[in-house]
Amino acid sequence: MKSWKDDPRAATNPLFGDNKLKLGLFGLNGIGISMTNVPEAPNARWSESVAVSKLADAAGFEANVPYARWRGYHPEDPTHRSGLAMDPYTWAAATSQATERGGVFATSHVPTIHPIAAAKQCATIDQISGGRFGLNVVAGWNKPELDMFGAAMREHDDRYDQAAEWIEIVRRLWSEDDEFDYEGRYYQINKAVSFPKPLQRPFPPIMNAGGSDRGRLFAAKYADMAFVIVKSEEPEAIRAEVDLYRTTAREEFGRDIQVWTYAYVVQRDTEAEARDYLKHYAVDHGDDRALDGWMELQGMHTKLMPKDVMEQLRFRFKAGNGGFELVGTPDRITARLEMLSSAGIDGVLLGWVGFEDGMRRWIDGVSPLLVQAGLRG
């Protein structure tokens, strides 16, 4: 079995580089990962994307991952800011020209784009970026957004069956010169071909956030980076989840994969200052309308939960969409990243309320400590 650490794509894509703990941005193309109404929150501004992407590039971040979104969470307000998101494909193409070193992703909801179109667009971005592109593949999504496309909201396992066909077609278009036919349950293709090919061979890396048993199998088979939600503060529990993905990939498919997660960051000189700001944006100015709509879409019946559990859940999602908490001083943030790395996490995507200010604080405070800790060069 070949290790991802020996991957030839490392020549152009830092996702396969030597840093023990890799870092990336998450949600810069939209409103970030927090549900808040504070004025400094991201608003899908291209000028902010460029400024922050350049900072991350200079800091050696390996990834820049946008999300895809087609409408907001509030069912009665189609103009709600939760629908603010630049298209991830065109955003990735432009971002790759604004940067020089970091990996740049697009995010693709399988039901919203045909695999032939996706393959061509991805190959184009890989050419533009000089071989730094990656694709985050999402098998399903929210029904109101899929309804806009007239796309079916399939049953859970069927979504992954469709995604498997989709990605097999895309990869063949990336890697094969000859025309081919494809006869599947979801796609029927005649004499398919696509040029130019991506620069990365055999194809650009894939990220996937499959969390169910079926999703984990999909990620283990097709993804280079499995994207997980860290739900525990205990290193042993985190390690067990990470090992489950690695073991599945190795034993079922003979593959070695990376495991990534995401986190929200509030960095200040003291932990008290950081906690105060967290309360300010997530509690005092949290976007409860967006959260209510999102929870309804996910089928979360909060009336059935104990009040304290419900309040904790709501806080986590307003703070950072349920991500891992990196709140406090540079020393505390570094210690928590050391814990994630020791539990087997290979990379962390980061989100801030106020990306540019957050990145500058990170570069000055956390980056040197991560080097001292041996997590980054």
Q: In a structure prediction context, what are the per-residue pLDDT tens digits for the chain, which is 377 residues long? A: 556 678 999 999 999 999 999 999 999 999 999 999 999 999 999 999 999 999 999 999 999 999 999 999 988 889 999 999 999 999 999 999 999 999 999 999 999 999 999 999 999 999 999 999 999 999 988 899 999 999 988 998 999 999 999 999 999 999 999 999 999 999 999 999 999 999 999 999 999 999 899 999 999 999 999 999 999 999 999 999 999 999 999 999 999 999 999 999 999 999 999 999 999 999 999 999 999 988 888 777 666 778 888 899 999 999 999 999 999 999 999 999 999 999 999 999 999 999 999 999 999 999 999 999 999 99
For residues 373 and 273, give the distance between their C-alpha atoms in angstroms, rounded to a whole number. Answer: 25
Angle formed at CA 239 by CA 234 and CA 244, multiple of 5 degrees: 135
Report domain extents, the chain: 4-372
Residue found by looking up tokens 């894939």 in the block: 206
CATH topology assigned to domain 4-372:
TIM Barrel (3.20.20)
Q: For residue 306, report the phi and psi dihedrals to the nearest 5 degrees.
A: -60, 145
Q: DSSP for 59-70, please give it.
A: TT--EEE----S
Pairing status of strand 180-183 against strand 188-192: antiparallel
Q: Please confirm whether the linkage preceding 202 is cis (ω < 30° from 0).
A: yes
For residues 103 and 133, give the distance between their C-alpha atoms in angstroms, rounded to a whole number. Answer: 6
Record the pTM. Answer: 0.96
